[in-house]
C-alpha cells in the first residue's frame, strides 16, 4: 500500500480531498438509499490503457469505511483492454458511493498519466535513452503523478527544489554566468549531489563543460545543433550525462533520441494527458 513511502501523508491528503467533496455528508445517498443497504461495486475500464493507482483507490475506500472489502483484479503498470474489470468493492452502499468519485478521479488521472507515458516509452523502443518527467505536476499530487509515470515505464527527474541542483537561465542571470553559478553551487552542496546546467546554445555548452557540470541539459535546441552539442560533450567529457528538454512530442522524440542524448525530459507526461475513462457500477456480476 506504500506509494513512494508516502502512506501516512497520502492518508491525510485523502481525508482533505474527501472533506472537499463530502463536506457535512453525502446528501443524495442519505436521502435515497436506506441505511444498512449493502452492495458490490464493479470498477471497470471503458477504454484501453495502462493502470495506475489501484493501491490509492483501496486506500480511499479504507479511509471512508474500514469495513469495506476491496478486491483488485489487475496490478499497476498492467495494460488493460476496454471492458476490463479492475476491482470490486463490497459493503455499505453509503460508503461505496461516498468514496466513489474521489477514488475514480485519482484512478482515472493516474492511469491517464501512465498511459500517456507508455506511448512515449513505445516511441523510444530500441533506443538507449531514458525518459523522465519534470516538476510540471498538479500541486499536492506530485508524488502520485510521478508514481504513475513509473507505472507507465518512465523514470523520475528530481522531485523538488531540494534534491538536486539544476541551474537554469534565471539562475545563470542571477549568478552572473554559468561558471560562477556552478562554482558557487559546488562550494555549498554535499559531494553526493550532482549539478545540472541548462544550456540553449553551443557557447553555453562549452561554458558548462569548462565549469565541469555533471549533467548538461540541451534546452529547445534544433536537431542539428543538438547533434553537434552531443558530439562536443561526448568528445570532451564522455562521463557527463546529456539531457534534452523542450518541445518534446510523440512526433519529435525519436529524432531527439537519435541525437545521442542520454535522457529526455517530458513535461507533457504530467500536464498534457487525458484521464482514462473508468466507471464504478453497483450490483453487476463480476466478469473477468
Domain shared by 204 and 101, yes or no: no
Domain shared by 248 and 277, yes or no: no
Domain shared by 83 and 21, yes or no: yes
Domain carrying residue 202: 164-266
Nearest one of 17, 246, 10, 267 to 137, comparing CA atoms: 267
pTM: 0.94
From 47, 65, 90, 101, the catalytic residue: 101
Q: Is residue 23 part of a domain?
A: yes
pLDDT for the residue numbered 288: 36
Domain shared by 250 and 277, yes or no: no
From 76, 198, 243, 262, the catalytic residue: 198
Q: Mind listing the pLDDT tens digit for each residue in 4-52?
A: 555 778 999 999 999 999 999 999 999 999 999 999 999 999 999 999 9
Concerning whether 136 is annotated as a catalytic residue, the answer is yes
Contact status, residue 41 vs residue 88, Cβ threshold 8 Å = yes
Contact status, residue 244 vs residue 256, Cβ threshold 8 Å = yes
Concerning whether 198 is annotated as a catalytic residue, the answer is yes
Distance in angstroms between the alpha carbons of the first and the last residue of the chain: 23
Report whether pLDDT(287) > 80: no
Concerning whether 101 is annotated as a catalytic residue, the answer is yes
The pLDDT > 70 percentage for the chain reads: 96
Concerning whether 82 is annotated as a catalytic residue, the answer is no
From 130, 150, 158, 168, the catalytic residue: 168
From 136, 150, 186, 212, the catalytic residue: 136
Domain shared by 193 and 246, yes or no: yes
* CA 138 – CA 113 distance, rounded (Å): 12
From 26, 145, 196, 219, the catalytic residue: 219
Q: What is the CATH number of the domain that holds 11?
A: 3.90.1170.20
Domain shared by 217 and 246, yes or no: yes
Contact status, residue 83 vs residue 37, Cβ threshold 8 Å = no
Q: Is residue 151 part of a domain?
A: no
* CA 230 – CA 110 distance, rounded (Å): 34
Q: Mind listing the pLDDT tens digit for each residue in 88-135?
A: 999 999 999 999 999 999 999 999 999 999 999 999 999 999 999 999
Report whether pLDDT(285) > 60: no
Domains: count for the chain: 2
Amino acid at each position: 500500500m506504500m506509494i513512494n513511502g508516502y502512506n501516512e501523508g497520502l492518508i491525510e491528503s485523502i481525508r482533505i480531498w474527501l472533506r472537499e467533496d463530502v463536506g457535512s455528508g453525502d446528501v443524495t445517498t442519505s436521502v435515497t438509499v436506506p441505511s444498512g443497504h449493502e452492495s458490490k461495486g464493479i470498477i471497470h475500464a471503458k477504454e484501453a490503457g495502462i493502470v495506475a493507482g489501484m493501491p490509492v483507490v483501496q486506500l480511499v475506500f479504507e479511509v471512508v469505511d474500514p469495513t469495506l472489502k476491496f478486491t483488485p483484479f489487475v496490478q499497476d503498470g498492467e495494460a488493460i483492454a476496454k471492458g476490463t474489470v479492475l476491482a470490486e468493492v463490497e459493503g455499505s452502499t453509503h460508503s461505496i458511493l461516498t468514496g466513489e468519485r474521489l477514488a475514480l478521479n485519482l484512478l482515472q488521472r493516474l492511469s491517464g498519466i501512465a498511459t500517456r507515458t507508455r506511448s512515449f516509452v513505445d516511441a523510444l523502443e530500441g533506443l538507449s535513452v531514458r525518459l523522465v518527467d519534470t516538476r510540471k505536476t498538479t500541486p499536492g499530487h506530485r508524488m502520485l503523478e510521478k508514481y504513475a509515470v513509473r507505472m507507465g515505464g518512465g523514470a523520475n527527474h528530481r522531485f523538488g527544489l531540494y534534491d538536486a541542483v539544476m541551474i537554469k537561465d534565471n539562475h545563470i542571470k542571477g549568478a552572473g554566468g554559468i561558471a560562477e553559478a556552478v562554482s558557487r553551487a559546488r562550494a555549498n552542496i554535499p559531494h553526493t549531489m550532482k549539478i545540472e546546467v541548462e544550456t540553449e546554445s553551443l557557447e553555453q555548452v562549452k561554458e558548462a563543460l569548462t565549469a565541469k557540470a555533471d549533467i548538461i541539459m540541451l534546452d529547445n535546441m534544433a536537431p542539428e545543433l543538438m547533434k553537434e552539442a552531443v558530439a562536443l560533450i561526448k568528445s570532451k567529457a564522455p562521463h557527463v550525462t546529456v539531457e534534452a528538454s523542450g518541445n518534446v512530442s510523440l512526433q519529435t522524440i525519436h529524432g531527439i533520441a537519435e541525437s545521442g542524448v542520454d535522457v529526455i525530459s517530458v513535461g507533457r507526461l504530467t500536464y498534457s494527458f487525458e484521464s482514462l475513462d473508468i466507471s464504478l457500477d453497483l450490483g453487476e456480476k463480476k466478469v473477468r
